[in-house]
Amino acid sequence: MRKLYLVTGGLGFIGSTLVRKLLSDETNVVFIVDDQSNNSLEADHFGVSTRNIYAALADIYDWNTDTGIPRLVNIEGDFAHEKIATLIARHDFETVFHLAAKPRVEWSVEQPLEATDENLNRTLALAKSCADSKVRLVFSSTSSVYGNAEFLPTSEADPKNPESPYGLSKYCAEQYMHLFEKLYGLEWVALRYFNVYGPVQRGDSPYSTAVAAWCHKSREGQPLRSDGDGEQSRDLVHVEDVADVNMLCSTLWNPGLSRVYNVGSGAAVTNNWILSQFAERGYVEVVHAPERAGDVKDTLADVDLLKEDLDWSPRISIQEGINMTLDWWEL
């Protein structure tokens, strides 16, 4: 019996890792919706039978009558396109994983209206489609909802003080999902990612995290940019662990459990510590820049709720994960 899943942003860093895991089960069929603005991979990378279509034609596509029986349906376009709602209604999806976003704090400060439209308004259109079709939605949120957290480690119940339109838009989306649950019966889970890193992530994109950007700069023989004093600390969580949590929220989670979870490693390191890992491999040139607007000083996740509800713990330590990432970049 085939199981169908839809992943928005499925060609991106986290999305492609999740898609690979879903496809490892040969009974699964995965639909990707991606506008290819920040793809880490191409659809043919997954090595399975693929159907490529445009979002504008999604309303006339029916996997059940596709004689090619593809295991991957790659839809190019906006996840909030009106034709995607028809696609969701037509197919019996197990889960919709919503990872597409513009996760740029600094950009959201410069372009607050565009950031809000991208990360809130379009997400609501997708959430309403899921509610109408009675499909579970697993929403990728962010630790940016906490801003400069009052408490470390930070639990899901701690105060929300977003410092950027990006963080605020994600928090507002969570609140709308609570409302959509009451009004329309939406079944949903929100995952507040801390700092996700690992292989495959592009380092030459405006969306790149510090680790990926520094890997790219090292490969290019360029200095590594450090913002502020470098003592800001981050809870780094490996992309494989993040994908595992998404899977659990599709297969093990039930409506009697919590709606919102932190996804982190439960440990934190400073940017200067990360730079020291590059220095150990010979990459020592660093240029210093002012602190970025909207950046928070420290992050550290309390992941006890996720452990309690889903028996999840991160498998990959920060040291191990950094080594894996640098090795992947051949540094």
What is this structure's pTM? 0.95
Measured CA distances, 90 to 85, 104, 328 (Å): 9, 33, 40
CA dihedral 119, 124, 127, 129 (to 10 degrees): -130
Domains, in order of start, for the chain: 3-196+239-265 (3.40.50.720)
Longest dimension (CA), the chain: 58
pLDDT at residue 231, rounded to an integer: 94
Q: Are strands 236-238 and 195-197 parallel, antiparallel or unpaired?
A: parallel
pLDDT at residue 213, rounded to an integer: 94
Which residues are CB-contacts of 280 (< 8 A; sequence separation ≥ 6)?
A: none
- Three-state DSSP class for 288? strand
Which element (helix H / strand E) includes 21? helix 13-23
pLDDT at residue 38, rounded to an integer: 77
What whole-number distance in Å separates Cα of residue 115 and Cα of residue 130? 22
> CA 105: distance to chain centroid?
14
DSSP at 44: G
What one-character-per-residue DSSP string does 223-259 give? PEEEETTS--EE-EEEHHHHHHHHHHHHHT--TTS-S
What whole-number distance in Å separates Cα of residue 145 and Cα of residue 162? 5
What whole-number distance in Å separates Cα of residue 194 and Cα of residue 237? 7
CA dihedral 91, 97, 98, 99 (to 10 degrees): -140
What whole-number distance in Å separates Cα of residue 270 and Cα of residue 227? 12
Residues of the chain with pLDDT under 70: none
pLDDT at residue 75, rounded to an integer: 97
CA atoms within 13 A on the CB side of 212: 20
Q: Which two tokens stand for residue 262?
A: 């932190």
CB 119 within 8 A of CB 79: no
pLDDT at residue 293, rounded to an integer: 76
